[in-house]
Structure 1
Amino acid sequence: MSTLHVETLSRVYPSGEGQVTALAPFTHTFAPGITAVVGPSGSGKSTLLNLLAGFDTPTTGRVVVNGTDLHALPEAGRADFRLAHYGFVFQNHNLVSILTALENVEFPLTLAGVPPRERRDRARALLDRVGLGARASHLPSQLSGGEAQRVALARALANDPEVLLADEPTGNLDTRTGERVLELLTAPAREGRTVVLITHDRDVAALADHTLRVRDGTVTAEQEGVRV
């Protein structure tokens, strides 16, 4: 079971002679399962995701993953920690164009120093898991949008991360393909991983176990449709 906790987390940016609060201080424990983060454009959703990932530095507060304070680590240490404990799925799949589907899934395993045979076997198993074993030798340009996103999800799972961060993973997909990607995200959530899913789609958010609403930088948690 993974644990992702934020404590008085905030982000303030200088603006002219004043300041802009992109994210007001909030404290929250992300339970295992899928947490949907919803809100209008410019509300602070991306700021939150960047802080959770350690891509940006908070003005106040901490991000703690399984007891480790992410932002207490040096920059190189954060990168190593992300590689070992996080998986990422973006709206644009961000696959490496010159690598095959199999090589894309292998890539984080290579960075982690996994031996060649082991990483190849693990990558093949993950492609089979997302239904793309037969497409292993295809380049991203030879895949449909949904196939590329499923390869990206397999890559995100390569190092068996405790935390998955997904930024509009179904945003560029048709409804049926998006549902397939969501089904694949549900499986790691049921295995005890913490999945944080940014989405503007109400139907997608309705499938989540938990919901955070962000508006004007303020985060509000909801449970079973009741604001708390």
Structure 2
Amino acid sequence: MTGAQPAALATENLSRVYPSGEGEITALSPFTHTFAPGLTAVVGPSGSGKSTLLNLLAGFDTPSGGRVRVGDTDLHALSETGRADFRLANYGFVFQNHNLVSILSAQENVEFPLLLAGVPARERRDRARTLLDDVGLLARAGHLPHQLSGGEAQRVAIARALARDPAVLLADEPTGNLDTRTGQKVLELLTGPARQGRTVVLITHDRDVAALADHRLEVRDGVVSRGEH
């Protein structure tokens, strides 16, 4: 199937401030950046603002100021429904806890975003099986999530994230719950779309993981800076 074409992901003076009992908390200071094609690691300690940035890039949260652009689209100018439709067509997501649907098989999980997009059944099946083969899990296509190891479930989640060949792939601590060897395999799978010119943003607290990325951003106390590479 033909997916979304590579598109620039950019922020313009993007910020997020939350009210608190003592006034305001700045979770993300104004941040302007164009994410280059390839793998960008966003690294920083817990509570630094990494997740806030990811939620804003995805359109899950609303900025206090500024904007997120994917190609020519201003993400936060869209309605809530419009953002959801745009995410389905242009984004792929990989979470720390894989977030597979427990009652669906591995193949059905990969097919799910294609089902939502109205892709015909045979095309869904063929695409899902190709992706499961790519991540080395075609033999596990009929297994439910609880029948998979943590690493296998995360690989299914990556296959699902790639189902619609997204322009932007966001990964939130995808190796956080895995041992080093399994985490390395998962990381290698994320570099594939990056090498194909997609924009992959990887949130991590692990500097060893971040060191393998093409580009790196550092987040500390809500301030984003370009990390050394």
State whether TM-score is above 0.5. yes
Unaligned runs of 5+ in 1: none
Provide the rounded CA distance (Å) in 1 between the counterparts of 2:98 and 2:176: 11
Provide the rounded CA distance (Å) in 2 between the counterparts of 1:40 and 1:223: 16
Provide the rounded CA distance (Å) in 2 between the counterparts of 1:223 and 1:215: 15
- Report the counterpart of residue 167 of structure 2 in structure 1: 162
- Report the counterpart of residue 48 of structure 1 in structure 2: 53
Aligned: 1:136 with 2:151: no
1:108-119 to structure 2, matched below 5 A, reads: 108-119=113-124
Aligned: 1:84 with 2:89: yes
**How far has the Cα of 1:9 moved from its partner?**
0.1
Aligned: 1:28 with 2:29: no
Alpha-carbon RMSD: 0.7
C-alpha distance after superposition, 1:168-217 (max 9, x if no partner): 00001111110100110000000011010011111100000111101110
C-alpha distance after superposition, 1:64-96 (max 9, x if no partner): 001100000000000000000000000001000
Cα contact 1:39–1:213 (8 A) shared by 2: yes
Cα contact 1:2–1:192 (8 A) shared by 2: no
C-alpha distance after superposition, 1:111-170 (max 9, x if no partner): 011011111110000000101000000000100000000000000000110000000000
Name the SS of the counterpart of 1:213 in structure 2: strand
**How far has the Cα of 1:222 moved from its partner?**
2.4
- Report the counterpart of residue 3 of structure 2 in structure 1: none
Name the SS of the counterpart of 1:153 in structure 2: helix
Provide the rounded CA distance (Å) in 1 between the counterparts of 2:121 and 2:23: 53
TM-score, scaled relative to structure 1: 0.97
Provide the rounded CA distance (Å) in 1 between the counterparts of 2:209 and 2:169: 16
Unaligned runs of 5+ in 2: 1-5
- Report the counterpart of residue 112 of structure 2 in structure 1: 107
Provide the rounded CA distance (Å) in 2 between the counterparts of 1:127 and 1:160: 14
1:56-71 to structure 2, matched below 5 A, reads: 56-71=61-76
Provide the rounded CA distance (Å) in 2 between the counterparts of 1:124 and 1:115: 14
Provide the rounded CA distance (Å) in 2 between the counterparts of 1:43 and 1:137: 40
Cα contact 1:100–1:136 (8 A) shared by 2: yes
- The counterpart of 1:178, out of the listed 153, 176, 183, is 183
- Report the counterpart of residue 94 of structure 1 in structure 2: 99
Cα contact 1:87–1:165 (8 A) shared by 2: yes
**How far has the Cα of 1:17 moved from its partner?**
4.5
Aligned: 1:212 with 2:197: no
Provide the rounded CA distance (Å) in 2 between the counterparts of 1:196 and 1:75: 22
Moved over 4 A (4+): none
- Report the counterpart of residue 15 of structure 1 in structure 2: 20
Name the SS of the counterpart of 1:64 in structure 2: strand
Q: Give the aligned length.
A: 224
C-alpha distance after superposition, 1:25-81 (max 9, x if no partner): 010000011110111111100000000000000000010001100000000000000
Provide the rounded CA distance (Å) in 2 between the counterparts of 1:107 and 1:136: 13
Provide the rounded CA distance (Å) in 2 between the counterparts of 1:162 and 1:183: 18
| Counterpart AA for 2:191 | T
- Report the counterpart of residue 5 of structure 1 in structure 2: 10
| Counterpart AA for 2:105 | T
- The counterpart of 1:201, out of the listed 197, 200, 206, is 206
Provide the rounded CA distance (Å) in 2 between the counterparts of 1:151 and 1:36: 21
**How far has the Cα of 1:223 moved from its partner?**
4.5
